[in-house]
Structure 1
Amino acid sequence: MSDFGSLSRGELQAMAEAAREVMNCQRVLAKTGDNIVGEILRGAGTFYEWRHYPSGDVYDAEFHAQYYYHAHPEEERVSGEHGHFHTFLRPLGMPPGIVPARLFDVVESGGENDALCHLVGISMDRAGLPIRLFTTNRWVTGETWYASGDVARMLDCFVIDHARPSWVVNRWITALIRLFRLQIVELLEARDAEIARWRDMRPGTNIHEDRELEVVSERWVSIEDQIARIELALTRARRREGVVAR
Structure 2
Amino acid sequence: MSAVLPSYCIAEAICEPTLADHAEADLRRMHEAAQEALKCQRVLKKVGLNLVGELLKGQGEFLEFNHFPDGDVYDRDTGSQYYYHAHRGSGEHGHFHVFHRPPEDNRPGELADPTHLVAISMDAWGEPIGLFTTNRWVTGETWRNAADTLALARAFELDHAWPSWPVNRWVSAMIVAFYPYLEVLIEHRDREIAVLEQSGIQDVHENRAFEVIGQLPISLPGWEKRLAARLK
Tell me what 2:82 maps to. Answer: 67
The C-alpha deviation readout for 1:114-170, integer Å capped at 9, x for no partner, is 421000000100111111101100000000110001111111211110011101100
- Give, in whole Å, the separation in 2 of the partners of 1:21 and 1:191: 28
1:212 is aligned to 2:209: yes
Counting aligned pairs with the same residue, the percent is: 46
- Give, in whole Å, the separation in 2 of the partners of 1:52 and 1:129: 19
Tell me what 2:89 maps to. Answer: 77
Tell me what 1:86 maps to. Answer: 97
The C-alpha deviation readout for 1:172-211, integer Å capped at 9, x for no partner, is 00001111000111100000000011111225x1100010
> Which is greater in Rg?
1
Count matched residues: 214
Tell me what 2:11 maps to. Answer: none
- Give, in whole Å, the separation in 1 of the partners of 2:138 and 2:155: 23
- Give, in whole Å, the separation in 2 of the partners of 1:3 and 1:151: 20
Tell me what 1:40 maps to. Answer: 55
Structure 2: runs of 5+ lacking an equivalent:
1-15
The question of whether the paired residues in 2 share the 8 Å contact of 1:4 and 1:229 is answered with: no
Structure with more contact order per residue of length (Cα contacts < 8 Å, sep ≥ 6): 2
The question of whether the paired residues in 1 share the 8 Å contact of 2:83 and 2:98 is answered with: yes
Q: Give SS of 1:6's match.
A: coil
Q: Given the two structures, how large is their TM-score scaled by the length of structure 2?
A: 0.89
Tell me what 1:117 maps to. Answer: 115
Q: Which runs of 4+ in 1 moved over 6 A?
A: none
The question of whether the paired residues in 2 share the 8 Å contact of 1:41 and 1:54 is answered with: yes
RMSD: 1.5
Tell me what 1:133 maps to. Answer: 131
- Give, in whole Å, the separation in 2 of the partners of 1:219 and 1:77: 16
1:52 is aligned to 2:49: no
The C-alpha deviation readout for 1:2-38, integer Å capped at 9, x for no partner, is 1112211111100111012111111110111000000
Q: Give the letter aligned to residue 47 of structure 2.
A: T
The question of whether the paired residues in 1 share the 8 Å contact of 2:59 and 2:70 is answered with: no
Q: Give SS of 1:120's match.
A: strand
**Which residues of 2 match residues 1-246 of structure 1 at below 5 A?**
1-72=16-87, 76-79=88-91, 81-92=92-103, 113-203=111-201, 205-235=202-232
The question of whether the paired residues in 2 share the 8 Å contact of 1:67 and 1:86 is answered with: yes
The question of whether the paired residues in 2 share the 8 Å contact of 1:63 and 1:159 is answered with: yes
Greater helix fraction, Structure 1 or Structure 2: 1
- Give, in whole Å, the separation in 2 of the partners of 1:172 and 1:224: 14
Q: Give the letter aligned to residue 196 of structure 1.
A: A
Q: Given the two structures, how large is their TM-score scaled by the length of structure 1?
A: 0.84
